[in-house]
Amino acid sequence: MTVEQPVGLPGTAELSAFLAMLHASGFAGEVALHVTDVGGRVLCSHQPDEVFPAASTIKVPLLVQALQEAQAGRLDLTGRVTLGAADRVPGSGVLHDLLPGLNLAWQDVLTLMIVVSDNTATNLVIGRLGVDAVNAWLAAQGLSGTRLVGKLQLPPEQQNEAQRRGERNRTTARDQAALLGALVRGELLDPAHTRLALDILERQQLRDLIGRRVPADEAGEPLYRLGSKSGELRGVHHDVGILHTPRPLVVACLSRGGTDPREHPENRDVLRLADALWPVLKALGEPPRRPGRDARTR
């Protein structure tokens, strides 16, 4: 793997070390990494515009768009939707294990979509927003590398034509970081809905990549807050989020071509990615030195 970031740009040394560590660990896949500060300044970048299967990172734009609908008064977050037997799909989440007829508030549906990456909840959101409307929204946000093809985990007879052709929901590291950066800066939602979105992301329970090596205190609590969304398919492992290191970071790490097929917290490819990623985040998360400060002033 080669460093695409020109020598001299911020994060070049960290990126070189990240790719070298992945190579030395035996990671055989392809990776994209895009890290910015919360103002949007690029700190480290490798293949940011390479298109990857989105996996569950597609749920981040769905969350933001749904909350925009709520903010505009077109979606009542306390309103109810009834879970039907045909709504339940396999994969991550809990709703597929529950009896049909469950009456859910839309805010709870959004929470399940992110916190436990519930695919059934996600499909309820997609059904409410509409595939075409989601893609129009993505285009309006300038997220040109991200596209929703259709609902998740549908049986073949329910798939649309694009899904039957083998198309998948897709995204890029740059798009994910741009979306999260705009969210945390308050550019997409009013303060109340921004707080709700960030709170939901911070309660995500699947923290196998960005959050895995974050140091913890004596009680086991992470030293830095993290709001994130992971994504996983066979050989595909993603994590995107906002990490509140001393200099807060917006991080998007996407990968494919992993050789460990297990959907398991100890997946070898995820461990290799997490081990290589944390030193980058630790270094970039240090506050920048003030001009004129050097070793003699410390």
Quickly tell me which residue has 């709703």 as its tokens: 95
Q: Which run of H or E residues covers position 133?
A: helix 131-140
Alpha carbons 64 and 138: distance in angstroms, whole number: 11
Q: Are 106 and 76 in contact (CB under 8 A)?
A: yes
% of the chain surpassing 90 pLDDT: 90
pLDDT, tens digit (0-9, with 9 covering 90-100), for 230-276: 999 999 999 999 999 999 999 999 999 999 998 888 999 999 999 99
Distance CA 242, CA 258 (A): 24
Q: How far apart are CA 9 and CA 14, in angstroms?
A: 11
Rg (CA), the chain: 19
Of 230, 226, 225, the closest CA to residue 240 belongs to: 230
Q: Is the pTM of this model over 0.85?
A: yes
- Using one digit for the tens of pLDDT, what is the confidence trace for 28-62? 999 999 999 999 999 999 999 999 999 999 999 99
Confidence band of 291 (pLDDT split at 50, 70, 90): low
Q: What domains appear along the chain, each with residue ranges and CATH number? A: 12-261+275-286 (3.40.710.10)
